[in-house]
Amino acid sequence: MQACGLIVEYNPFHNGHAYHIQESRKTSGADCIIAVMSGSFLQRGEPAIIDKFHRTKAALSAGVDVVLELPYLYAVQSSDLFAEGAVKTLYKAGVSTICFGSESGDISYFIHGYHALKNNQATYQTALHEQLDKGTSFPEASRLAYKQVGLTTDKMDLAKPNNILGFGYVKSIMDNELPIEPLTINRIKSNYHDQTITGSIASATSIREELLNSGELTKQAQSALPEETISQLLHYKQMANSWHSWEQYFGLVQYRVMTMSTGELAAIHGVDEGLEYRIKKYANNVTSFHEWMRAIKTKRYTWTRLQRVFAHILTNTAKAEMSQVKADPSVPYVRLLGMTKKGQEYLNSRKKQMDVPLITALNQTNDTMAQTEEKASSAYYSILPPRKRNEFRRQELQPPIMI
Q: Which residues bind its own copies (CB under 8 A)?
A: 250-252, 254-256, 258-261, 264, 284-288, 314-316, 371, 374-375, 378-379, 382, 386-387, 389-390, 393-394
Residues 9, 59 contacting (CB under 8 angstroms): no
Under 8 Å between Cβ of 67 and 40 = no
Q: Is 363 annotated as a binding residue?
A: no
User: Does 17 carry a binding-site annotation?
Assistant: yes
How far apart CA 161 and CA 303 sit, in angstroms, is 13
As measured in angstroms, the least distance from the Cβ of 284 to its own copies is 6
- Rg for the chain, CA atoms, rounded: 20
- Indicate the residue type of 196: T
Closest among 118, 105, 66, 55 to 89, alpha carbons compared: 66
Say if residue 10 carries a ligand binding annotation: yes
18 among annotated binding-site residues: yes
CB of 195 or CB of 261, closer to its own copies: 261
Per the CB < 8 A criterion, the answer to whether 66 and 12 are in contact is: no
In sequence order, the β-bridge partners of residue 41 are: 47
Check the annotation: does 12 bind a ligand: yes
Q: Does 16 show up as a binding residue in the annotation? A: yes
The nearest distance, CB 264 to its own copies, in angstroms, is 8
- Smallest gap from Cβ 20 to its own copies, in A, equals 34
**Is the CB of 252 or the CB of 293 nearer to its own copies?**
252
Total residue length of the chain: 403
β-partners of residue 184 are: 100
Give 69 or 373: the residue with its C-beta nearer to its own copies: 373
CB of 82 to its own copies, least distance (A): 22
Smallest distance from the beta carbon of 321 to its own copies, in angstroms? 9
Which of 231, 382 has the CB closer to its own copies?
Answer: 382
Cis peptide before 399 (omega within 30 of 0): no
Instruction: CB nearer to its own copies: give 50 or 260.
Output: 260
Q: What residues have CB less than 8 Å from 128, skipping those under 6 apart? A: 141, 142, 145
Annotated binding-site members for ATP: 7-20, 101, 162, 187-188
Binding-site positions read 7-20, 101, 162, 187-188
